[in-house]
Amino acid sequence: MHGAWAWSAAPAAAADTEMSARLDVAAISKSFRGLRAVQGASFEVPAGGIVGLIGPNGAGKTTCFNMIAGVFAPDAGEVRLDGRRIDGWRPDQVCAAGVGRTFQIVKPFVGLTVLDNVIVGALLRSNDVPSAKKLAEGIVEKLGLGPKRDLPASALTLPDRKRLEVARALATQPRLLLLDEVMAGLRPTECDQMVAVFRELNRAEGITILLIEHVMRAVMALAQRIVVLHHGEVISRGTPEEVVRDPAVLESYLGEETEV
Amino acid sequence: MIARLLEGVPRRGLVALGALLLLLLAFPAFASGYLLSVGFLILYFAFVGQAWNIMMGFAGQLSLGHSLYVGLGAYAAAALYVHFGISPWIGLGASVGIAMLAGAVLGFLAFRFGVAGVYFAILTIAFAEFARIGFDHFSWVQGSSGFFLPVANYATNDLWNLRGSPRMFYYLMLAMSVAAFVACHALLRSRMGYYWQAIRESPEAAQALGVNVFRYKMAAVVISAAMTSLAGVVFAFYYNNLFPEQIFHISRSIELILGPIIGGIGTLVGPLVGALLLTGLAEGMREVMLQLGVEVPGVKQVFYGICLLLVVMFLPHGVWPPLARRLGLERGAGGRGGH
């Protein structure tokens, strides 16, 4: 397993010397039929870091994700991965460049087994099916899906489908992992397990993570820095402790009595 | 290579396939001329069903115009033979090339401009209809009055020019069906097979995992077209006459997809089981009714309709998947051999 992940660790070290940002989002905007979903949002994700993107429903978080992942091109602004512009690329090109993503509304390949789902992702950087299978088996174990690997994905419960989303994205061996609400619907213990998995990935393999999350318990536990979006604009950024005390954030999103 | 092909295939499945193959090999020894022609038809539909299944069953792209590739393949090889005396074994190069080109144009138009689902199916019908009308006025191959090959002398088998007895055609079709089965099995467990199934299940998720959806959909159409055109070549030399009104007709497209639908879309054995059930039972029933002195025109079509209805109502995934489970041949752990 560790051999397989060496690929993603190496660029991280190189990037540290030249530029600090794994992902650099500069003033991106997107409108849908005149509705401004995102306006001039800028933020960075340092190599090896974990950044949380939070905000109320409709704040433009998923739209930001979709612009980074290549689902839409931004109307204005730039997205750079390790200094290279990737905005306007197709999703498969963005993935090949090293960005793995999950979907908020899970999209498992329901007719395939859990393992085959993950093999599809693993094939991206494997020369053949047997080596992809080997890689996929390790990831399936890591995400706790081992006992269910031969079940069709249609048989999985929602928390397991979320795990499968993560497993598939990880199988593409990303330099940057985009997680779109993977904790939603999980019980607190399941949520803590998931947090532990990401921490371990981050610590042991140096994987960089940008996560959208409503579950503040997970965000506070994981994120080193938080960016808050509201009405498509960044209204606050900083460490988790700073952000939860920011009056603007309390007013628009967290509410005054939030406990974390 | 062979070891990898067999990996994960249940032993019982291999034994069953081996027994079936032996039976099919021995079949001409005890079959009458009529039964042999039924056997040929079953293998023919098993082959084209397998080819169509690559597009629909594996990659999830519904084609209702596969008669296009049968017709193009048939006309290309037949015309080269009649006009220039070129052996169909060489002519099939042109058949495959033309069919692949037609598939590529169709695929490019559809996938480049986001024509999907029902609209894609309609586009495939449009291409077949376009060919039907075009060939009606194509004087090089006699247009609507039909294109005829010199009728074969059944006494000798000339495999090089595909002039010979029904038995020769039976064995040729058997070899093609076996090759198609093995090829589809290998394709399904290749990178391409995984990507096709991912695209079938969710194109967005496949793309997010780095799959170039356009490229792999194109590959599915082009490979399926190439395979189908080979069936067209055999069709032309077996029947010795080609009419655009028949060969490109939409009913031919529908006929060739019934087998895999009834047998089980996306499975390897489904097209074979479907062809066996439909063609075998329909012809058998006709024969029995003939013996009884009852003559009802259109009984085959009614039979097809009833089969489809029953399958849709009771076996939505086709006959094969539940049958495989009953026989203990479902896919083993980590493989898709039981397909």
Domain count, chain A: 1
pLDDT of residue B274 exceeding 90, the answer is: yes
**Does some domain include residue A200?**
yes
pLDDT at A4: 42
Q: How confident is the model at residue B331 (pLDDT cuts 50, 70, 90)?
A: low
Query: Hey, how many other C-beta atoms are within 10 angstroms of the C-beta on A255?
Result: 9
What ipTM did this prediction achieve?
Answer: 0.88
How distant, in Å, are the alpha carbons of B69, B125, B258 from that of B252? 11, 11, 10
A contacts of B191 (beta carbons < 8 Å) = 123, 128-129, 132
**Does some domain include residue A46?**
yes
Query: Hey, how many other C-beta atoms are within 10 angstroms of the C-beta on A200?
Result: 12
Average pLDDT over residues B147-155: 78
Contact A112 B198 (CB under 8 A): yes
**Does some domain include residue A149?**
no
For the domain B33-138+156-326, what is the CATH code?
1.10.3470
**Does some domain include residue A9?**
yes
H or E, element range at B133: helix B118-136
Determine phi and psi for A233, rounding to 5 degrees. Answer: -120, 150
**pLDDT tens by residue, B285-304:** 888 888 888 777 777 778 88
Contact B189 A91 (CB under 8 A): no
Please check whether residue B164 is in contact with residue B156, taking contact to mean a CB–CB distance below 8 angstroms.
yes
Strands A50-54 and A225-230: parallel
pLDDT at B234: 96
Please check whether residue A146 is in contact with residue A78, taking contact to mean a CB–CB distance below 8 angstroms.
no
d(CA B31, CA B16): 22
Nearest to B210 among A109, A116, A172 (CB): A172
pLDDT at B58: 96
* SS3 call for B324: helix
Nearest to B207 among A92, A109, A119 (CB): A92
User: In terms of residue numbers, what domain contains A236?
Assistant: 2-106+176-254
Residue A222: CATH number of its domain? 3.40.50.300
Q: Measure A148 CA to nearest chain B CA, in Å.
A: 11
Listed by start position, the domains of chain B span 33-138+156-326
Contact A150 B334 (CB under 8 A): yes
pLDDT at B1: 64
Contact B202 A107 (CB under 8 A): yes
Contact A109 B334 (CB under 8 A): no
**Mean per-residue pLDDT pooled into runs of 10, chain A (260 residues):** 42 47 93 90 94 90 94 94 94 96 94 96 95 96 92 92 94 95 88 90 92 89 93 91 86 64
* pLDDT, averaged across chain B: 90
**pLDDT tens by residue, B173-195:** 999 999 999 999 999 999 999 99
